[in-house]
Amino acid sequence: MSANLRQELLSKARRVVVKVGTRLLTYEQGGLAPDQLERVVDQIVALRGSGREVVLVTSGAVGIGMGIFGHATKPKKLAEKQACAAVGQIRLMHAYDESFARRGVTVAQYLLTAEDFRDPERFSNIRATTDALLGHGVVPIVNENDVVATSEIKVGDNDRLSADVCHFLEADLLVILSDIDGLFTANPKSDPEASLIPIVHRVTPEIESLAGGAGSLASTGGMITKIVAARTVTESGSACVIANGFTSDLVAIASGAPQGTLFLPSEHKLGSRKRWIRFVSTPKGRLVLDAGAVQALVERRTSLLAKGVVSVEGSFPAGVVVEMTTAQGHPIARGVANFSAADMARIAGRNSSEIPAILGHSAGQEAIHRDNLFVL
Ligand code: GLU
């Protein structure tokens, strides 16, 4: 990709999600590093001044809390980590609020968990609130609600959280700022030959292995979670840049300057609903399809008709996301079922015209409409 194309792609980005890692905001031994936070805020304000809508996803609450409680290392006990987050978050937001206010910018706080994204109603409420705030010129600042998060409901990490935020906002660009320059061909700390990869066209298993394998970059700061975030947002049609927050310049990155690693978006930009179905929702049941239906879905992107359903697994109401698999159990699609599991089982294998007679009602011609269906 030429420098011009990079510029063209990134300078078109209107909505940008910026994720800032703990290391950018805190001292190594814990505690808020005010100069570093000022630098981040300067960059966000400048990016906003360049005409973009910016949402900030920030870590740092636990790290700041560690400083307050005098922990030299991250506590092992979940409750102790949560206590650090509870005291650290308020100090973090206080610092952001003051720093942005000095530059004339109002901020808002979101504390979210994975549950908030999985529930379609909450998901669309967050979206509507964000649109309203951005309309007021506010910079929303998002962190995980660590106090209530348990292992089951945890988004997991703020790289993943930033990808989810990028999905619900249909943002054009996700910039992940950490303390490393981007993705390298090998671990730059141990291999003098390692070089920065400027552009990744597609996140393949080989690319993932650069981040996660033995002797990899994982030790330099959780590269694998960043690559997974880059994969999900680029698959839905947003661009992603992983760059060094200490040395890079956000406005330059968003104008296409060759800083960090750029992950190119796939050609088709998915709307927020399909992104939700694909990356955020949790399937509540499973439909096994016959070969004809699999072919129609994969090759012609059709709706799913009851005729192609061989069997139904699980118990689910109408209107929830289910997974579709081949007869061999290979997952091929996800979508919102128009019928409950019980009704689906009754109409499986039957023509659409028979549905009203079988069920005494019809919730539509299709078992799953193509607008609510994502082929994996
Ligand atoms: N929510 C955590 C915090 O604010 C950060 C999680 C992460 O860094 O991925 O400290």
pLDDT tens-digit map of 134-156? 999 999 999 999 998 776 556 55
4 band by pLDDT with thresholds 50, 70 and 90: confident
Structure tokens at 214: 């033995």
Q: For CATH 2.30.130.10, list the domain ranges present in the chain.
A: 283-375
Neighbours of 268 (CB within 10 A): 9
Cβ of 157 less than 6 Å from ligand 1: yes
When mean pLDDT is compared across 83-97, 235-249, 261-275, 310-324, the lowest value belongs to 261-275
The residue to mutate among 158, 161, 176, 179, having the most atoms of ligand 1 within 8 angstroms of its beta carbon, is: 158
Contact 155 CB / ligand 1 (< 6 Å): no
Q: Report which of 53, 21, 27 is spatially closest to residue 40, judged by C-alpha positions.
A: 21
Residues 6 or more apart whose CB falls under 8 angstroms from that of 178 comprise: 21, 23, 24, 221, 222, 226, 242, 244, 245
What is the per-residue DSSP string for 79-115? Answer: HHHHHHHHHHHHHHHHHHHHHHHHTT--EEEEEE-HH
- Mutate which of 56, 59, 69, 142 for ligand 1? The one with the most ligand atoms within 8 Å of its CB, which is 59
- Which atom of ligand 1 is nearest to 63's Cα? 10
Q: How far, in Å, from the CA of 29 to the mean position of ligand 1?
A: 15
- Asked if 73 and 83 count as a contact pair (C-beta separation under 8 A), the reply is no
CATH 3.40.1160.10 in the chain, residue ranges: 3-275
Would you say domain 283-375 falls under CATH 2.30.130.10? Answer: yes
The DSSP code sequence of 244-284 is: ETTT--HHHHHTT-S-SEEEPPPSSPPPHHHHIIIII----
**Which ligand 1 atom is nearest residue 89's CA?**
4
The Cα-based distances of 271 to 275, 276, 277, 284, 354 in angstroms read: 6, 9, 10, 22, 33
Per residue in 302-361, pLDDT (tens digit) is 999 999 999 999 999 999 999 999 999 999 999 999 999 999 999 999 998 899 999 887
Query: Is there an atom of ligand 1 within 6 Å of 178 CB?
Result: no
Please state which CATH number belongs to domain 3-275: 3.40.1160.10
User: 0.75 exceeded by the pTM?
Assistant: yes
